[in-house]
Chains A and B, each alone.
Chain A
Amino acid sequence: MTDEPKSPPNGGTSDKPVQRAAPAGPVTSPQKPAATSPPKPTPKPIVKPEPWASPLLEALQERFPGAISDALIFRGQAFFTVQKERLIQVAEFLKSEGGGSYCLLTDETVVDYPKREKRFEIIYQLYSFERNDRLRMKVLAGEAETVPSVTAVWPAANWLEREIYDMFGVVFEGHPELKRILLPEDWTGHPLRKDYDILRQDPEWVRANLKIESGQ
């Protein structure tokens, strides 16, 4: 984690014009894949993810041809995207000894890119005690698509997936008890979606349960 070259980039000198409308995703933006930008010879501050090469990735690609894409590394943190259909197999492989025994699912969350074709990027943060290594696995899902649940592989995903369902409305297939966890059961809307305004609420629910006109 500490082995990456450290150099202080100036936060202001981003070399690209900021595109507010379509936030450029690091991995899946089809126009300018981050991996294709050639590394410059001069030691410039690392501001872009670089292609990731490792025996584990080779093993993954060999075992699941075509399922792994966009394998990158940034600040010593490797991540890659998995085809949704192969998610469970890849997860099981990663948890097994041959795959590095990534047996701790540290976190599971979603980043929402509403402008993309598949707006949800589900992110699995994995940790292997044996290799003392972290790995980030991503799965893409569209608005109406379901995602296979990894609760069978990592039971820790139970509440994490419930939270994602609660906050983003992503439905997990095979989850034992998929219901809201932080918000009330009868709440409408999924607040962490980008199109859910920060001031928005469920006025019906507020009126019915809190007996007030507005929660703000």
Chain B
Amino acid sequence: MAEATFLDSNELLVNMGPQHPATHGVLRVKLRLDGERVLGSECVIGYLHRGVEKIAENRTYAQFAPYTDRMDYVAAVTNGMGYCEAVEKLLGVELPPRAQWTRMILAELQRIASHLLWLGTHALDLGAMTPVFYTFREREEILNIFESYCGARLTTHAFRIGGLQYDLYDEFETDVRKFCDYFPGKIDEYEQLLTTNRIWMERTQGVGVLSAEDAIALGVTGPVLRGSGMHWDIRKAQPYEAYDKVEFDVPTGEHGDTYDRYLVRIQEMRQSVRIIRQCLERLEPGPIFGKVGKIIKPPAGIEVYHSIEGPKGELGYFVVSDGTVNPYRVRIRPPSFLNLQALDKMVRGHLVADVVAIIGTIDIVLGEVDR
């Protein structure tokens, strides 16, 4: 990546988005170009801002839970789980095991679904149009399981503060087992199309390199951080639910480029299947609700920060109580927002085509960036 300028030509200002097929929503990136080389970039966000945090202050604890689904709308289950856990921590509630295992199963399924969506669209951004149809086919299976469980496919509101709203339906275990049995073979299919594909390798290797130090400095978490070689997964480091009772590996990359992040996410899907299998083994009949009052009213003046490993990174909730039925403040720490901050660092010196690859590899959801 030489720094040569293009015959001292004028800088070209290109406005990418907010309506652009590869910005994954309403992201707007102002690019300063020299020919096709990127000299700098600036993200303009907020097109999807709905004031979720303000809404939280005007709803009761339970009422706010469905709103969390609308942030990272491709991983609604994980969003709801993070919020419910934060409030449970505030209250000091402990969940019965069945609720925990169920939550983990659904959360891992959601992680797979989110990664599948990412894989398909990322490949589409790089011009490979077939994987998206395959990944959506498998994602559909997961959404069907969600639908059978709680009636909704996308914004599920699957969990309630203190446990689950519904017990599992009868064929749940069979459905999930069936999925776990056939899904790894499908991952192999995606890998056949992409992992060793020469063009894919050339398009992703050495593109958007982010060192671990830079990633940490910029607050980047999740698969992007792990792709840079940082062995850090909140499920391992500070386990929530019952993640300390299951075995799984944390895949890490080495080079911190787009290809490594791709490999990390592919491996994470395999690990998620592994976790789901173990959860299914331990799923036993039992209560699904902890001891939570009908009206959730935590004592005044307490606050709790709770974060989970969302599909995109650390998803944190900071909840402050003032003793009423409404939270005094709910701060959501969105992984996409902070990961997107690293975009400028990653795109400088690359070509326009790489900008698309890098936006894809960060895996942002604008609903979460803008809240």
Chain A interface residues toward B at CB < 8 A: 1-2, 6-12, 14-16, 18-20, 23-26, 29, 34, 45-49, 74-75, 77, 103-107, 109, 111-112, 123, 125, 129, 132, 134, 136, 154-156, 158-160, 163, 167, 180-184, 191-192, 194, 196, 198
Contacts and interface: CB of A to CB of B under 8 A. Distances in A.
Contacts of B301: 23-26, 29, 34, 48-49
Contacts of B341: 156, 158-159
Interface of B: 45-46, 49, 51, 53-55, 57-58, 89-94, 216-221, 230, 232, 237-240, 244, 290-293, 295-305, 307, 314, 316, 318, 320, 322-324, 328-329, 331, 333, 337-338, 341, 370-371
Given A8-B94, A23-B300, A106 B316 contact: yes
B94 A6 contact: yes
Nearest to B329: A111
B366 to A, nearest CB: 11
A74 B53 contact: no
B300 A19 contact: yes
A203 B123 CA distance: 43
A50 to B, nearest CB: 11
15 contacts: A11-B292, A15-B299, A20-B322, A23-B301, A24-B301, A29-B301, A75-B92, A103-B216, A106-B314, A132-B237, A155-B217, A155-B218, A156-B219, A156-B338, A167-B53
Given A23-B300, A77-B305, A183-B49, A12 B323 contact: no
A49 B93 CA distance: 17
A125 B333 contact: yes
Given A11-B295, A183-B49, A106 B290 contact: no
* Closest 8 pairs between A and B when the two form their complex, measured CB to CB: A156-B219, A23-B322, A182-B46, A8-B291, A107-B333, A14-B299, A47-B299, A18-B323
Given A19-B300, A23-B323, 10 more contacts: A20-B324, A24-B301, A26-B301, A29-B301, A47-B298, A107-B305, A111-B328, A159-B337, A180-B46, A182-B371
Given A77-B305, A136-B305, A181 B290 contact: no
Given A47-B299, A75-B304, A24 B293 contact: no
B318 A125 contact: yes
Contact of A181 (B45, B220, B298, B329): B45
A110 to B, nearest CB: 8
Given A23-B328, A46-B92, A192-B54, A16 B323 contact: yes
Contact of A11 (B297, B307, B318): B297
A77 B331 CA distance: 16
Contacts of B322: 18, 20, 23-24
B218 to A, nearest CB: 5
Given A8-B93, A14-B297, A159-B338, A125 B305 contact: yes
B89 A11 contact: no
B290 A191 contact: no
Nearest to B307: A106
A49 to B, nearest CB: 7
Contacts of A14: 297-300, 323
A14 B341 CA distance: 41
B84 to A, nearest CB: 14
B316 A125 contact: yes
Contacts of B291: 8, 10
Contacts of B371: 182
B46 A134 contact: no
A128 B81 CA distance: 24
Nearest to A46: B92
A158 B218 CA distance: 9
A96 to B, nearest CB: 14
B304 A74 contact: yes
A161 B57 CA distance: 21
B219 A111 contact: no
B47 to A, nearest CB: 9
A104 B237 CA distance: 14
Contacts of A160: 219, 338
A8 B290 contact: yes
A16 B55 CA distance: 26
Given A74-B303, A158-B341, A109 B318 contact: yes
A107 B55 contact: no
A198 B54 contact: yes
A109 B331 contact: yes
B316 A16 contact: no
Given A125-B305, A125-B316, A136-B305, A18 B94 contact: no
